[in-house]
Chains A and B, each alone.
Chain A
Amino acid sequence: DQQVKQNSPSLSVQEGRISILNCDYTNSMFDYFLWYKKYPAEGPTFLISISSIKDKNEDGRFTVFLNKSAKHLSLHIVPSQPGDSAVYFCAAGAQGAQKLVFGQGTRLTINP
């Protein structure tokens, strides 16, 4: 039972344009959500998070949107830069549960 799904295994975007990565979840107990970025041979790096009491959180070029009724969140990167090329994981958890459930990841490639 895959509780967190990233249906696009890969995404290719031109430098300077907007990258939109999507994530869907099924467990209504999840109340916070995170995005991680992973380069090859490195561990995932925390990017941005959002609590279920919000529908948007912004940090520089990164914005996460949460649609609770649709159980959907998205990560927007604008403008996209070559250094953004990596695998992006969506993760979800419930307060105090000490456990994050990760999506399959989306490989983002930014083309010059």
Chain B
Amino acid sequence: DTEVTQTPKHLVMGMTNKKSLKCEQHMGHRAMYWYKQKAKKPPELMFVYSYEKLSINESVPSRFSPECPNSSLLNLHLHALQPEDSALYLCASSQAGGNNYGYTFGSGTRLTVV
């Protein structure tokens, strides 16, 4: 299995809703990432988990809450989002400790906040 699977593919939520994005990989990668991509912009790093521990938080607002229940799963819990949070949310994984192997990205969740 050489894929990163993200669910759901599309999500529309209101500003008072609570929702979660899910990401799963079975490649034995011990580093997992959340990126956010706005239209016509590059992906921007949000969080990095290494060996199931949060190692990087790029000053992301607390309305985004990541969770890594085990080495194969990564969640992003969403609460009280704003319309400007609408974007493509990408999960990625890699071998821990070095990036020269390249990330494997999922297809993303297209999030719309109304």
Contacts and interface: CB of A to CB of B under 8 A. Distances in A.
Interface of A: 4, 32, 34, 36, 41-46, 49, 51, 89, 93, 95-105
Given A98-B31, A100-B45, A43 B102 contact: no
Contacts, number: 65
Given A93-B99, A98-B31, 18 more contacts: A34-B99, A36-B102, A41-B107, A43-B6, A43-B90, A43-B92, A43-B107, A45-B105, A46-B102, A46-B104, A51-B100, A95-B98, A96-B97, A99-B45, A99-B56, A101-B45, A102-B44, A105-B40
A32 B43 contact: no
Contacts of A103: 42
Interface of B: 4, 6, 31, 40-45, 48, 50, 55-56, 90, 92, 96-100, 102-108, 110
B99 A105 contact: no
Contacts of A105: 40, 42
Nearest to A87: B40
Contacts of B106: 43
Contacts of B56: 98-99
A16 B97 CA distance: 39
Contacts of A98: 31, 48, 50, 55-56, 96, 99
A36 B90 CA distance: 14
- Among A42, A44, A46, A105, max chain B CB count under 10 A is at A44
B42 A32 contact: no
Contacts of A99: 45, 48, 56, 99
B24 to A, nearest CB: 14
A89 B35 CA distance: 14
A109 B55 CA distance: 38
